[in-house]
Chain A
Amino acid sequence: MSLKPFKSIGIGVAYSPNLKANLFEAARLSVFFGAKLFLIHVGEPSEEKTNMLSIILKSFEKDKLDYEVIFKTGDPVNVILSTTEQKKIDLLILGAVQREKILKYYVGSIARKITRKAKCSILLLIKPAVERMACKHIVVNGLKDPKTEQTITTAFYVANQLKSNKITIVEEIEEEEIHVKVDDDKSLRLATINKERIKLRENSRVKEIITHIPEELTKNKTIKLQPIFGKRGYSIGHYAQITRADLLVMNSPSKMTFWDRLFPHDIEHILTELPTDVLILQ
């Protein structure tokens, strides 16, 4: 499986109180990945705005940060999507919104539209900070899906770039796969045996994937496999939240229709309640 490193990173820039934190996160990531940073602003270009950006990013000069500011007017969703395609951006950074009063984050309507339509990988940040928070623990999905191998490989690549040592691969298994409904002791015994069997099968499948990953990416990493019986997309977010993971890496959704939004599943669950920073890989 070929690895696609992040060569260019994009971020939407709006002049809000969060601007500095957002820019710092984006700049730091660009430095880590050695990528070029594109600052996309929806609006008229002006001298003042450019100066402000360069003042903020001044502290990254010593890290040789290469960045470019793009001004474009129009509908924010279209502007950002078209710019990502034009500039061949690999990774787009979006900020999340905090629900009033309580510590819960969700993805705003613009960011959500972009997430659904974007053709590149997306990083959703819940609390951008000026100071760097170390990324220690990455949770990645191990679904039975053609994209998974690429996702896990990239997760290891990201872990190396961000210097995080722990990776947990969560295999979400739909409960229908157990084929037994628990009614009494006998069916419970059967269900427990079936679960163990499925777990073994899933673990060996993921282990097989790990052997395909270049060794320099996997060495010195603590790798944990965690099978979970539960709703796809939701359980992994819940798991990332309780294990206090710093980054959750997911496959991109295959296709979204109107019904998928009405009856949320997979990635849509994550968008309504972000457990932590989420990286959606294309």
Chain B
Amino acid sequence: MSPKKNNIKDFFKTLPKNIFSGFVVSLIALPLGLGLAMASDAPPIAGIIAAVIGGITVSILGGSHVTIVGPGNGLVGVLLVAITTLGLEGAYVAIMCSGILLLLLGFFRMGALADFFPSSAIQGMLAAIGLIILGKQFHIMLAHKIKRGDTIDYLLEIPFTINDAVHYENKGLIFAALAGILSLTIMLFYSKVRNKYLQLIPAPMWIVILSIGFSYYFEIGLHEPNPIAPEYMVSGIPSIQEIIADLPTPNFSGIWSFSFFGSVLALTLISSIESLLSIKAVDKLDPEKRRSNVNRDLKALGLATVGSGLLGGLNVVTVIARSSVNVNQGASNRSSNFFHALFLVLFIVFFSTQLTRIPLPALMAILVYTGYKLASPKVITKMFSIGKEQLIIFFVTLIVTLKIGLITGILAGVLATFIIHVIINRHLGYGLFFRNLLKPNVLMYKEHGNKDNYYVSVKHFCSFLNYFRLKKHLDAIPENQDVIVDFSLCDFVDDTVLENINNYQELFDKRGGHFGVVGLDLHDTETKHPFASRRLLPVPNIIKNSLTRRQTNMETLAEDYDLKYYPKKKKNVSFLNSFSFFSTKHINHIYNKLSQKDNDITVFDIEFSEGEFIAKEEGRKTMLHINLDQRIPEFTLDKEGFLEKVSAFAGYKDIPIENHDDFSNRFYLKGENEAGIAKFFNDDVTHFFESNPYYHVESNGSAILIFGKERLASIKEIKALYDFGKRLKQVIQTV
């Protein structure tokens, strides 16, 4: 919501950061692009072309801010079908046509399209895509190329492949399979190891670097050929001259066939759904709280897809995993997308021969991991916790997608959802849906009172079928306002709507507004509708009367220090939202709370997540929160390490404190109000930090947040943390 001033100045100020995050993203995009293209039976370079053309086009013409575009994993299944039935040249034409359709979707403002699909059906579709990727690539990962007609056959074959792999005799195959397994291990455990030097390079790039290093070690170190069987090496990475020379000639001969139209439709549907879902998820991560123009983005994506198809690349979609990384690396505008494309070009220009040293199984391990993330058992347990009927929808979509195809699958999911809705609401009469489907059932107006707020009332029913009406109204409210959504006139609210409402609540909380929902508890009792009741009153955890040892220790600690101890999960964490540490993270809950009687100092365990959707990673920490009586400047104080020195080049600035070289050398201090911070860090405060253990300390102006390790603290560490906080508060009070 900032006025137009200093736009160009800001752009150049944040440029280094954006170049940096574009670079990090390109490290992931390179192996993923190669892998996704190969998984779809296209030449590996097709994935890179999509990322480059997409990155350049969308960064210039797009309407979102911190998204990254490129080849999407959702499209692997559809592209596979398209390339097998139409041939490569025909598939490129299909890609171009789907680009034109996307362009039209943008022009006709169909950005709301993704809202018409029930969330369980989308989950089922994504899981099916995950299985398609996993099923096919798992065999290649273990150096066991097979060809089967059906995804289910591929999945059933997995145990046999493992058995074969254990009994390999051929040295080339053993090494290939080992490369695959090693890469999968890296993917699985990368996020568990919280070492910042390791985390400096994304996992897929580690795989690339290690496998190229391995190949050079054999060639230069041992003067032996690479032991991995040559048919399991990435092949056919053309140099940049060859790409330009070998532009594919589109084959328009088969465009009047049924399978062509099917492919175009499926490509358009999946790429628009994947893009729209990703844009929505990334908007939640944007630290600057901007709202993306989805229709404009659709147009840009469509144009990029046409260009990409013309040059022999895959569909361009907005991708969530790479976008999440982009946000976490500090990107602030579309230029990072542009630089990600630029770095990819540089990689291809300078390292195209090195890329052929990557073993195929290693690349496919990345995809197996991606597929697993899409279809992980966690998704099913989450579905089950919402309701048993969600599982029916999920599995109907999943199985039909695997057996017949993506479009049929998602349509089956929509139909199943609708039938289930009608059945569980039969006591309300079958007319509920049919009679009220077309009615403009959402009323919104501004209530005038002490503080003006928006009031939204929904009538009849609110499900995925008419959610777009509610969404249109909710989108017209600035997120820093107060909103009350009233469902008391609504007989039925489905889980898709409640999930979206929950997203709005988070968004409004983050942006300083308030989003209240009323009327749901009321109709639990009156109409007994199962979704809302289950959503509102989640099955209570099996009562955790038995505290863990750490918890009993915390209880005794609370008695010794005269503190209040509250072990249960607390969802109300809005007091933490204004800390910059959480600006790109989502807080799930806090628990094990220890607080002083006057609530000034609290210690708690916190669970939060970074990234969204399939790129979600969860973290836990123990933190200390101090409420201050006076205003202090906002700042972040951290240990000065290698990373900070590197990132200093990328535009972060360390604020020096005069006469305290030791402090300035050892600590890394940043914040907007430099003069205020320099004044605040007087001799006492600086001495305090110099003579005490390191913690990450952050101020939001009226409170301070302190935490240490990348994990939960032990009882001893909690005591130390508490002591540190108490003394820091005393020091600050004298400022």
Q: Which residues of A contact B (CB under 8 A)?
A: 99-102, 181-185, 187-189, 191-192, 226-231, 234-235, 238-239, 241-242, 269
* Cβ–Cβ contact B486 & A242, under 8 A: yes
CB contacts (< 8 Å) of B445 on chain A: these are 226-230, 239
* Cβ–Cβ contact A239 & B476, under 8 A: no
Apart from A184-B292, A229-B445, list 13 A-B contacts with CB within 8 A.
A100-B429, A101-B428, A102-B491, A181-B109, A182-B476, A183-B293, A183-B294, A183-B295, A183-B296, A184-B291, A226-B445, A238-B443, A269-B439
Name B447-466 residues within 8 Å CB distance of A: 457, 459
CB contacts (< 8 Å) of A185 on chain B: these are 1, 290-291
* Cβ–Cβ contact A229 & B444, under 8 A: yes
**Which among B293, B428, B439, B489 is the interface contact of A184 at CB below 8 angstroms?**
B293
* Cβ–Cβ contact B293 & A188, under 8 A: no
Could you tell me the distance in whole angstroms from the C-beta of A175 to the nearest C-beta in chain B?
Answer: 9
CB contacts (< 8 Å) of B459 on chain A: these are 238, 241
Q: With A and B bound together, what is the CA distance between A243 and B325 in angstroms?
A: 48
In the complex with contacts A183-B63, A184-B290, A189-B1 CB distance below 8 A:
yes
Q: Which residues of B contact A (CB under 8 A)?
A: 1, 63, 109, 290-296, 428-429, 439-446, 457, 459, 475-476, 478, 486, 489, 491
Closest partner residue, chain B, to A186 (CB atom): B293
CB contacts (< 8 Å) of A100 on chain B: these are 429
Could you tell me the distance in whole angstroms from the C-beta of A206 to the nearest C-beta in chain B?
Answer: 15
Closest partner residue, chain A, to B455 (CB atom): A242
Q: With A and B bound together, what is the CA distance between A238 and B445 in angstroms?
A: 11
Closest partner residue, chain A, to B445 (CB atom): A228
Could you tell me the distance in whole angstroms from the C-beta of A257 to the nearest C-beta in chain B?
Answer: 19
Could you tell me the distance in whole angstroms from the C-beta of A265 to the nearest C-beta in chain B?
Answer: 10
* Cβ–Cβ contact B489 & A242, under 8 A: yes
Could you tell me the distance in whole angstroms from the C-beta of B419 to the nearest C-beta in chain A?
Answer: 22
State the 3 A-B residue pairs at the shortest beta-carbon distance, nearest first.
A184-B293, A231-B440, A238-B443
**Which among A101, A181, A188, A238 is the interface contact of B457 at CB below 8 angstroms?**
A238
Q: What is the total of A-B residue contacts with beta carbons within 8 Å?
A: 66
* Cβ–Cβ contact B290 & A235, under 8 A: no
CB contacts (< 8 Å) of B439 on chain A: these are 234, 269
Closest partner residue, chain A, to B1 (CB atom): A185
Q: With A and B bound together, what is the CA distance between A236 and B440 in angstroms?
A: 12
Could you tell me the distance in whole angstroms from the C-beta of B444 to the nearest C-beta in chain A?
Answer: 7
Q: With A and B bound together, what is the CA distance between A231 and B442 in angstroms?
A: 9
Could you tell me the distance in whole angstroms from the C-beta of B720 to the nearest C-beta in chain A?
Answer: 44
Q: With A and B bound together, what is the CA distance between A269 and B293 in angstroms?
A: 34
CB contacts (< 8 Å) of A99 on chain B: these are 429
CB contacts (< 8 Å) of B491 on chain A: these are 102
CB contacts (< 8 Å) of B476 on chain A: these are 182, 188, 191-192
Closest partner residue, chain A, to B428 (CB atom): A102
Could you tell me the distance in whole angstroms from the C-beta of A186 to the nearest C-beta in chain B?
Answer: 9
Closest partner residue, chain A, to B432 (CB atom): A102
CB contacts (< 8 Å) of B294 on chain A: these are 183
CB contacts (< 8 Å) of B428 on chain A: these are 101-102
In the complex with contacts A101-B429, A184-B291, A188-B291, A242-B1 CB distance below 8 A:
no
A-B contact pairs, 9 of them (CB 8 A): A99-B429, A102-B429, A182-B476, A183-B295, A184-B291, A188-B478, A230-B443, A238-B489, A241-B459
Q: With A and B bound together, what is the CA distance between A264 and B444 in angstroms?
A: 20
* Cβ–Cβ contact B293 & A192, under 8 A: no
Residue from the set B429, B440, B486 with the largest chain A CB neighbour count within 10 Å: B440
* Cβ–Cβ contact B440 & A230, under 8 A: yes
**Which among A182, A189, A241 is the interface contact of B475 at CB below 8 angstroms?**
A182
Q: With A and B bound together, what is the CA distance between A184 and B457 in angstroms?
A: 24
* Cβ–Cβ contact B489 & A230, under 8 A: no
Could you tell me the distance in whole angstroms from the C-beta of A252 to the nearest C-beta in chain B?
Answer: 22
Could you tell me the distance in whole angstroms from the C-beta of B475 to the nearest C-beta in chain A?
Answer: 6
**Which among A191, A227, A239 is the interface contact of B443 at CB below 8 angstroms?**
A239
Could you tell me the distance in whole angstroms from the C-beta of A95 to the nearest C-beta in chain B?
Answer: 21
CB contacts (< 8 Å) of B489 on chain A: these are 238, 241-242
Closest partner residue, chain A, to B2 (CB atom): A185
Could you tell me the distance in whole angstroms from the C-beta of B333 to the nearest C-beta in chain A?
Answer: 13
Could you tell me the distance in whole angstroms from the C-beta of B468 to the nearest C-beta in chain A?
Answer: 13
* Cβ–Cβ contact A230 & B444, under 8 A: yes
Residue from the set B439, B443, B486 with the largest chain A CB neighbour count within 10 Å: B443
Q: With A and B bound together, what is the CA distance between A83 and B428 in angstroms?
A: 40
Q: With A and B bound together, what is the CA distance between A239 and B489 in angstroms?
A: 11
Q: With A and B bound together, what is the CA distance between A192 and B481 in angstroms?
A: 12
CB contacts (< 8 Å) of A269 on chain B: these are 439
Q: With A and B bound together, what is the CA distance between A100 and B459 in angstroms?
A: 18
CB contacts (< 8 Å) of B296 on chain A: these are 183-184
Q: With A and B bound together, what is the CA distance between A117 and B621 in angstroms?
A: 72
Could you tell me the distance in whole angstroms from the C-beta of B461 to the nearest C-beta in chain A?
Answer: 12
Q: With A and B bound together, what is the CA distance between A220 and B461 in angstroms?
A: 40
Could you tell me the distance in whole angstroms from the C-beta of B708 to the nearest C-beta in chain A?
Answer: 37
